Amino acid sequence: MSFALGLYLAIFAATLAALIVRPQVTRNLLLGIAGAAGLIYGFWVHGILGAILPFLVLIVAGVQVISVAGANRSANFSQDEQAMVDGPLKGLARSQARRLIDQGNWLSGETGDVLIREGTPPSHLYYLVDGIGDVHSRGSLVGQVRSGQLIGEAAVLGEVEAIATITLAQPSRFWCAPAGAVNAFLAANPEARHALQKSLTASLREKLDAMNRAVAMASSSGSPGA
């Protein structure tokens, strides 16, 4: 295989990989590799004029890599925010996690405060950093949410109505963001949506499993002869 053909294949492979991968830094690095290979190939085969366009691609990719890396390094988090980053936002780049957290606010709640009401569309997404919430479905206590868990996943996953009511069981601290703001951010950042959706789906499935177990136990204990 000739040197020129090897460069051509390298350009094709790096460009194709850049179209497939999701992490932005990796994608820009692959475009940079394609640009560098294209620069050499263009100069080798066509002379200096053939190297102009690949050189521009290389410059743009380099600027993007430096920009993303700088944003990730400059992203700072409080102790509460870091717990969120290490938990449900673990799959997001630090700069993306910073922008997502900025869509909401940190609040304190009191015992009895209702965060989610059964049968109504969830209006906010919550992250409980400290505290406990009781989960009621059809008037029965079917579980609890605790520190480190998301609340209101349906607001992002597109569910029409909440399947349970969640009420704070003690004074608690949580992050709260309007569903519209979160969804707008995720619509503009598909990579972040893909990463966050995994956490949201896993969190919702965990709650559903806990609710089903609680209902099954209640039915079993209330059956004749139990």
Residues of the chain short of pLDDT 50, as ranges, are: 223-226
The rounded distance, in Å, linking the Cα atoms of 75 and 72 is: 5
How does pLDDT run across 61-85, given as a tens digit for each residue?
A: 666 666 666 556 667 889 999 999 9
The rounded distance, in Å, linking the Cα atoms of 67 and 51 is: 24
pTM of the predicted structure, to 2 decimals: 0.66
Amino acid found at 164:
A
Query: CA quadruple 58, 64, 65, 67: dihedral positive or negative?
Result: positive
138 contact partners, CB below 8 Å, separation of at least 6 = 118
pLDDT given for residue 90 in this prediction: 85
Strands (E), the chain: 105-109, 114-116, 124-130, 132-137, 140-146, 149-151, 165-168, 172-178
Read off the DSSP letter of residue 152: -
pLDDT given for residue 225 in this prediction: 45
Sheet hosting strand 105-109, strand order edge to edge: 105-109, 172-178, 124-130, 149-151
How does pLDDT run across 201-213, given as a tens digit for each residue?
A: 877 777 777 777 7
Helix (H, G, I), strand (E, B) or coil at 78: coil
- Residue 82's beta-bridge partner residues? none
Token code pair at residue 62: 């380099």
